[in-house]
Amino acid sequence: MRTLCASTLIGEFFVIGFAGLVAMKEPDLSTATVWTVCGVLMALSVLLCGMITRPGGVQLGWALQILLIAGGFVVPSMFVLGAAFAALWWASVHYGRKIDEAKARFAAQSPAAHPRTEAGGNPA
């Protein structure tokens, strides 16, 4: 799950940065405001990469997805991009957990069924 979720979060990092560039064209927003908000969200997306497997990591990821969708009120295309990344987040969490469960089942199988190999590639 960690790999899939981290990949989604890194993609969001770039989308947030590009959304910041678009938001700078909004005359009602100052550059400092845009980059403070975008900087915090970008930092959160990177920090969440390391927190995915910790308690509350997935929930913080969902909060980030909601914030991305809400960004559509400033940059309208973020409604679509935020929804797309929310779907990717759901898929990353859902299928990542399934993959983790399958790996655990595979590892729990008898060691005789899966002999370890030596450095040369020959079974021990």
C-alpha 117/C-alpha 124 separation (Å) is 5
Q: Does residue 124 surpass a pLDDT of 90?
A: no
Q: Does residue 113 surpass a pLDDT of 60?
A: no
Q: Does residue 112 surpass a pLDDT of 70?
A: no
C-alpha 34/C-alpha 21 separation (Å) is 9
**Alpha-carbon dihedral of residues 47, 48, 51, 56, nearest 10 degrees?**
130
Is the pTM for the entire model greater than 0.85? no
Percentage of residues of the chain with pLDDT beyond 90: 72
Mean pLDDT of all residues in 63-86: 95
C-alpha 75/C-alpha 69 separation (Å) is 10
Task: For residue range 11-56, list pLDDT tens digits in order.
Answer: 999 999 999 999 999 999 999 999 999 999 999 999 999 999 899 9
Please report, in angstroms and rounded to a whole number, the separation of the first and last CA atoms in the chain: 31
SS (H, E, C) the chain: CHHHHHHHHHHHHHHHHHHHHHHCCCCCCCHHHHHHHHHHHHHHHHHHHHHCCCCCHHHHHHHHHHHHHHHHHCCCHHHHHHHHHHHHHHHHHHHHHHHHHHHHHHHHCCHHHCCCECCCCCEC
**Amino acid 79: pLDDT:** 96
C-alpha 77/C-alpha 81 separation (Å) is 6
